[in-house]
Amino acid sequence: MQLLKTFVRNYPWQSLILVVALLLSGVADGIGLSALLPTLELALASGDAGPTNDITQLLSNTMNQLGITPTLGVLLSIILSAIVVKNILVFLANQRIGYISADVATGLRMSLLRAVIASRWEFFTHQSSGALANSMATEAWRASNAYVFGVRVLATSVEASVYFAIALIASWQATLLCILAGGLVFSISHVLVRMARRAGDRQTKWYRALLSSLTDVLSSVKTFKSMGRDRVAEEVLTFETQKLRSALRREAVSQAGLESAQESLLAGVIVIGIYVALVVFDVGLAIVTFMVLVLGQTLKRVSKVQKLYQTMTTFESAYWALDRTIAEATRAAEAPTGARTVELERAIVFDRVSFAFGTNTILDDVSLEIPARHITCLVGDSGAGKTTVADLVIGLIRPDRGEIRIDDVPLAEIELRAWRQRIGYVPQDNLLLHDSVLKNVTLGDPTLTEDDARAALAAAGAEAFVERLPEGIHALVGERGTRLSGGQRQRIMIARALVHHPQLLILDEATSALDAETEAGICATLKSLSAELTILAVSHQPALAEVADRVYRLRAKRIERISNRAATTAMRA
């Protein structure tokens, strides 16, 4: 029950309220049940008989002390009142369970989100977006279900304990005999519980694999359809789907088997007990009826505890898998940064910077200067290290040797979050949301208004075409911006980068997929923007090199400054 202990530790006050409500409901249930035996004796007695057992004696004495006559009507009223009070308390407990369940799922999702966002860039790039989406959705939901069923195990255990205590008072011999027989039944059926746990572990594994593959396939649907290879997309997911199906079927078999086996075996225990009590020991009908009800309810609840525990085990692995993911992301958190802030007024300087991914050296003793309010263009072959330079400027990765300075302040001494808030970033891929133009520009930032978005669209040269859309700035752009042209998508991306008024605009191959006319228009826009902000462009295209104020070429792990003409000639060659 380590999972339940973990939840109780994380939600102590909510759990305390829950346990108190469950205990009080158990007490109310016990009072109502205790009144049942004298009620049966009164109903079945042929004459005026005194108390015949400990329960009847205890209840009779208590009622006499309170000045209440234990008549049939009074006893039935006690039973009814106890049932009502119990159900009210159970309602409050179930409500609390629902609240904590929602808190558990939300808390896990937010913990994962914060941990992943705060992790080092190298860690993040090794994660599957589909697996992370599965953790946020499926695993968090299954983990909260594990909590719900774990708490219900606790609640049902409380109820079973109450029935067990009352049965002991009525006849400890019969109770112990019944419990021993029931224990044997539960030991036999526990193999089905272990089967459910293994099925749950497999479900967690294959849900994660399936969501990871599904995300990759959906992002490549156009490629599959364009080449008439739809069936290939289906086959990519078949293996994980079949494995998940197998795990779900094993869970269904274990749950159905436990239900059938328990009911049959426990019914046999009760039937044998009735026969022994009536025939062998000649016990009175009222006591036998009462014991059948009490022991039947006791075994029923113990049986329910095992079923709930079985269900909990199928969900439990999702919690531990999610917990491991959060722990891994937390351990991979970005190292603490400095506390200084800067305004980019003069230049960004690389001073003999070297960087390697493992044993693969990307930059070796590189020095360059990116002057403020100018366009600096980085050119070179694929894999030469252009994007690495941009990532180093952003602070996503740290140099192995050398130093990066912003206006003579080492980047290691600067508070990275504050520095990144001064950067506008435009990636190569058109990462647009399936939402409105407005939402794509502001990304839902509550501090940004529609006027801010319109100003950014105007600065990016996108205002005219946005106004021509049927719903203007509120028009949907489609999945990944498919309702817009490549140039329109790129201008919205630039507007997104400009809306928070950055000091540095970084474009990472942002014009590589555009036609010459569209690219020329965006280059003209960037040239006009350079009067107000610093622009660092990573490009294979000659158009950006032509409008740049400074061009650097990366080659053989080194960097050199070249003329615009040399850059454009090399790229056209």
Q: Which residue has the higher pLDDT, 230 or 368?
A: 368
What is the average per-residue pLDDT within 444-457? 89
What is the average per-residue pLDDT within 562-571? 70
Residue among 465, 516, 539, 520 at smallest CA distance from 495: 465
- C-alpha span between 161 and 155 (Å, rounded): 10
The per-residue pLDDT for 21 is 75
In-domain check, residue 337: no
Task: Show the domain range for 208.
Answer: 2-331
Residue among 116, 138, 122, 102 at smallest CA distance from 326: 116
Span 378-426, pLDDT tens digits: 988 877 888 899 999 998 889 999 999 999 999 989 998 889 889 888 8
The per-residue pLDDT for 536 is 92
Q: Are residues 157 and 305 in the same domain?
A: yes
In-domain check, residue 253: yes
Average pLDDT of the chain, as a whole number:
79
The per-residue pLDDT for 405 is 93
Identity at 295, one-letter amino acid code = L
Q: Are residues 318 and 222 in the same domain?
A: yes
In-domain check, residue 500: yes
- C-alpha span between 10 and 4 (Å, rounded): 10
Give the confidence band of 278 by pLDDT, cuts at 50, 70, 90.
Answer: low
Give the lowest-confidence range in 209-218, 271-280, 320-329, 336-345.
271-280
The per-residue pLDDT for 367 is 92
Q: Are residues 451 and 311 in the same domain?
A: no
The per-residue pLDDT for 353 is 93
Element spanning 555, H or E:
strand 550-555
DSSP code at position 385? S
Give the confidence band of 277 by pLDDT, cuts at 50, 70, 90.
Answer: low
The per-residue pLDDT for 38 is 61
What is the average per-residue pLDDT within 40-60? 55
Percent of the chain, pLDDT > 90? 9
Other Cβ atoms less than 10 A from the Cβ of 292: the count is 16
Q: 0.75 cut: is pTM over it?
A: no
Whichever domain contains 162, its CATH number is 1.20.1560.10
Whichever domain contains 454, its CATH number is 3.40.50.300
Q: Are residues 135 and 272 in the same domain?
A: yes
Residues 170, 287 contacting (CB under 8 angstroms) = yes
In-domain check, residue 254: yes
Q: Are residues 419 and 562 in the same domain?
A: yes
The per-residue pLDDT for 60 is 67
In-domain check, residue 340: no
- C-alpha span between 181 and 111 (Å, rounded): 46
Q: Are residues 388 and 302 in the same domain?
A: no
Instruction: Among 298, 331, 364, give the residue marking a domain's end.
Output: 331
In-domain check, residue 103: yes
Give the confidence band of 146 by pLDDT, cuts at 50, 70, 90.
Answer: confident
Instruction: Among 272, 301, 331, give the residue marking a domain's end.
Output: 331
Spatial strand order of the sheet with 504-508 comes to 423-426, 504-508, 534-538, 375-380, 550-555, 558-562
Q: Are residues 517 and 377 in the same domain?
A: yes
What is the average per-residue pLDDT within 74-90? 75
Residues 413, 340 contacting (CB under 8 angstroms) = yes
The per-residue pLDDT for 513 is 60
Q: Are residues 101 and 193 in the same domain?
A: yes
Q: Are residues 102 and 206 in the same domain?
A: yes
Q: With the CA atoms of 353, 356, 357 and 359 taken in that order, what torsion angle do they form, in degrees rounded to the nearest 10?
A: -170
Q: Are residues 317 and 408 in the same domain?
A: no
If one counts the domains in the chain, the total is 2
Query: At CA 113, angle to CA 108 and CA 116, rounded to 5?
Result: 120
Residues 281, 27 contacting (CB under 8 angstroms) = no
Q: Are residues 24 and 162 in the same domain?
A: yes
Span 91-111, pLDDT tens digits: 777 777 777 788 888 888 899
In-domain check, residue 547: yes
- C-alpha span between 15 and 92 (Å, rounded): 12
Query: At CA 484, angle to CA 479 and CA 488, rounded to 5?
Result: 125
Q: Could you give the residue ranges of the DSSP H alpha helices within 358-436?
A: 386-394, 416-420
What is the average per-residue pLDDT within 497-518? 80
The full 3-state SS of 325-358, as one line of letters, equals HHHHHHHCECCCCCCECCCCCCEEEEEEEEEEEC
Q: Are residues 324 and 372 in the same domain?
A: no
- C-alpha span between 202 and 179 (Å, rounded): 34
Element spanning 405, H or E:
strand 401-406
Span 224-276, pLDDT tens digits: 666 566 666 677 678 778 888 888 888 788 777 777 766 676 677 777 766 76
Q: Which residue has the higher pLDDT, 217 or 447?
A: 447
Q: Which residue has the higher pLDDT, 519 or 147?
A: 147
Phi, psi for residue 262 in degrees, rounded to 5? -60, -50
What is the average per-residue pLDDT within 131-158? 83
Instruction: Among 331, 358, 388, give the residue marking a domain's end.
Output: 331
Percent of the chain, pLDDT > 70? 81
Span 151-210, pLDDT tens digits: 788 777 877 777 777 777 766 766 777 777 777 777 777 787 788 878 888 888 888 888
Give the lowest-confidence range in 122-136, 267-281, 529-543.
267-281
pLDDT surpasses 70 at 517 = yes
Residue among 295, 262, 264, 265 at smallest CA distance from 277: 295
The per-residue pLDDT for 85 is 79
What is the average per-residue pLDDT within 316-345? 87
Q: Which residues pair with 555 in a beta bridge?
A: 558
pLDDT surpasses 60 at 446 = yes
Give the confidence band of 46 by pLDDT, cuts at 50, 70, 90.
Answer: very low
Give the confidence band of 443 by pLDDT, cuts at 50, 70, 90.
Answer: confident
In-domain check, residue 342: no
The per-residue pLDDT for 47 is 44
